[in-house]
Structure 1
Amino acid sequence: MNNQTTLIIGAAGNNGVATIDAIINKKQTKDTIRAAVRSADKAAELKRKFPAIETVIIDLNKPETLTAAYQGVTKVFMIPGNVEEREQHAKNAIDAAVQAGSVEQFVFYSVFGAEYESILFGRQFRAGEKYLEQSGLNWTHLRTIFFQDNFFGWADGVKQGGLYFGIREGSLAPLNVADIGEIAANILTTVGHTNKAYNITGPELLTGDAMAQVFADVTGKEVAYISPSQEQTLDSLLSTGWPQWQAEGMLELFEVFATNQAAVISPDGETLLGRPLTTLKEFISQNKAAFV
């Protein structure tokens, strides 16, 4: 699958950057990477980081801006943004891929459990999945779970001795963003992924208490686990600038974790990665300065 042109939509986000980095580090691939972003500033920032890539500016609310971005594209990796209109953005991107006529593979970034459509985030991403499945394109769904990297947002509490994470006695297997990027790169640069849905979790099921203990072990100081009420969590998210819809969606996700509806470890990640997934302890050790 050499000499392909891969369009990455949502390239400036953490998952997009991790994917670009992983593809570039694959010495055997000669793929052209075209990074689709929303602004000239983001394009320039990516170009400084990855001089070999192409950049293109698109607006997923304006389908007419996608035509030039798709010219000559053979593979697409779409990472929907943190916006309420995720479903429409996905439809616009998929329609543009169909119209281009050159796209051989469309990889859609989604969320673990999307097929159940039981919470807002699941319904948003599953709508995109279903539209892609019905498009006639060769599709691959990459369904991921809560990121280890999200805990940067909890760093202030950890520094003060508390992991405030509202999942009560539930457990989940948090996933490393760099691992996701490498998994996506492997899917985009190898064959055998047509019309498959991959469920990607981290390597270990952890309760809130267990996660707090990992933070304590790595930082060398006491970190207590505190599970705030839903009202407290909502207030906290809103106070830090989260939109109402997204904050309420996160509450739904936390309830999934609290009731152990996502308390599973999928083998797909390690199989696609070809090595063990990053543990929470490894992640915190690599980023210890952020938590002390």
Structure 2
Amino acid sequence: MEATMLVTGITGNVGEHVAEHLIARGCSVRGAVTNTGKAAHRWGSKAELVRFDYLDESTFDDALQGISGLFLIRPPSLADPNPMLPLIVRAKERGVKHIVFLSLLGIERNPLPPHYRIEKYVRNSGIPFTFLRPSFFMQNLNTIHRTDIRDRGDIFIPAGKAPVSFIDARDVGEAAALAMLSPELHANRSYTLTGAEALTYEEAAAIFTRVLGRIVTYSNPSAGQFRREMVRRGMPREHVNVMITLYFTTKLGLAKRVTPELEHLLGRKPATLEQYVQDYADYWR
């Protein structure tokens, strides 16, 4: 029987591209989603869709049935990683042979974000793993921060003046798919993934200004200002706190590192921030 890959977060920034690359390479894909009807509009017959919820263990067995590889992602709404442990335990019991986990840049030295404990859960399970530790996703700028850029011409992020090695989620999705398709090459390895250059948010704002043809600034709010504004907009406080923790590590300069690992995995140069802004320009218009 043909092996099937389970992709959690198949409707998200990275999971979507993981699935696309797996399918393009002839792999059978099952997407774990909270709403199969909604996801069907995107995937049609290209991927099998199954209802899945980290907080409902009764959904695990259907998702894991016949699965060879698992692309694992922490939903942004899940600030507490403990509900992910039962899935990892069940994956071991059901014979999953490889887990590719979307982790976080520098997490091996930072126990505060939930990704640290999730890596530990996966490692302790005994399932061969690949940890992808990417830098700040460019696509956060057209999702979480889209409204500020589009309506106010402002990158509203409390990250200070340190450089960031921005990375395109499309590249990360391709790297994850390649790791899943060749587990023998990537088992029990961790990759620090970055773009090809590190830019400050001031430099990023200048790129937006040039490509969009209108002024975009970087206001660099304090953590307190950011927290109050995000909570006022209705974002769960726990989610906001995770974001502030991540942006604080950026402020400390921990996101400026540039590595060649993504280029080695892809066999080409990573996408630039300028190319990303050009490709996604309609999001801010």
Give the unaligned 5+ runs of structure 1: none
Which residue number corresponds to residue 242 of structure 1? 235
For residue 75 of structure 1, give the secondary structure of its aligned residue in structure 2. Answer: strand
For residue 31 of structure 2, give the secondary structure of its aligned residue in structure 1. Answer: strand
For residue 115 of structure 1, give the secondary structure of its aligned residue in structure 2. Answer: helix
Displacement of 1:36:
1.2
Which residue number corresponds to residue 183 of structure 1? 175
State the TM-score, normalized to the length of structure 1: 0.90
Taking the aligned partners of 1:270 and 1:33, their CA distance within structure 2 comes to 25
Give the unaligned 5+ runs of structure 2: none
Which residue number corresponds to residue 63 of structure 1? 57
For residue 179 of structure 1, give the secondary structure of its aligned residue in structure 2. Answer: helix
Displacement of 1:62:
2.4
1:202 pairs with one of 195, 209, 233 = 195
* Count, aligned residues: 282
Displacement of 1:25:
2.1
Comparing 3-12 with 198-207, which one deviates more in the overlay? 3-12
Displacement of 1:86:
4.6
Equivalent AA in structure 2 for residue 151 of structure 1: L
Matches within 5 A, 1:256-267: 256-267=249-260
Which residue number corresponds to residue 4 of structure 1? 3
The alignment status of 1:72 with 2:66, answered yes or no, reads yes
For residue 94 of structure 1, give the secondary structure of its aligned residue in structure 2. Answer: helix
2:160 pairs with one of 168, 187, 201 = 168
Comparing 173-182 with 76-85, which one deviates more in the overlay? 76-85
Displacement of 1:280:
0.7
CA contact (8 A) 1:6 1:33 kept: yes
Taking the aligned partners of 1:163 and 1:83, their CA distance within structure 2 comes to 22
Which residue number corresponds to residue 225 of structure 1? 218
1:44 pairs with one of 37, 40, 44 = 40
1:128 pairs with one of 110, 118, 123 = 118
Displacement of 1:85:
5.2
Displacement of 1:205:
0.5
Equivalent AA in structure 2 for residue 184 of structure 1: A
Once the two structures are superposed, residues 246-288 of structure 1 have per-residue CA deviations (whole angstroms, 9 ceiling, x without a partner) of: 1122112212111212210122111111111111100001122
Displacement of 1:12:
2.2
Taking the aligned partners of 1:262 and 1:85, their CA distance within structure 2 comes to 21
CA contact (8 A) 1:80 1:89 kept: no
For residue 29 of structure 2, give the secondary structure of its aligned residue in structure 1. Answer: strand
CA contact (8 A) 2:136 2:255 kept: no
Taking the aligned partners of 2:224 and 2:164, their CA distance within structure 1 comes to 21
CA contact (8 A) 1:12 1:42 kept: no
Matches within 5 A, 1:127-146: 127-146=117-136
Taking the aligned partners of 1:24 and 1:31, their CA distance within structure 2 comes to 5
CA contact (8 A) 2:106 2:254 kept: no
The percentage of counterpart residues that share the same residue type is 28
Which residue number corresponds to residue 154 of structure 1? 145
State the TM-score, normalized to the length of structure 2: 0.92
For residue 276 of structure 1, give the secondary structure of its aligned residue in structure 2. Answer: coil
CA contact (8 A) 1:43 1:57 kept: no
In the TM superposition, structure 1's runs of 4+ consecutive aligned residues that sit over 6 Å from their partners are none
Displacement of 1:195:
0.3
Equivalent AA in structure 1 for residue 149 of structure 2: V
Which residue number corresponds to residue 85 of structure 2? 91
For residue 76 of structure 1, give the secondary structure of its aligned residue in structure 2. Answer: strand
Inter-CA distance 11–157: structure 2 relative to 1 (3 Å threshold): closer
For residue 106 of structure 1, give the secondary structure of its aligned residue in structure 2. Answer: strand
CA contact (8 A) 1:201 1:269 kept: yes
CA contact (8 A) 2:71 2:101 kept: yes
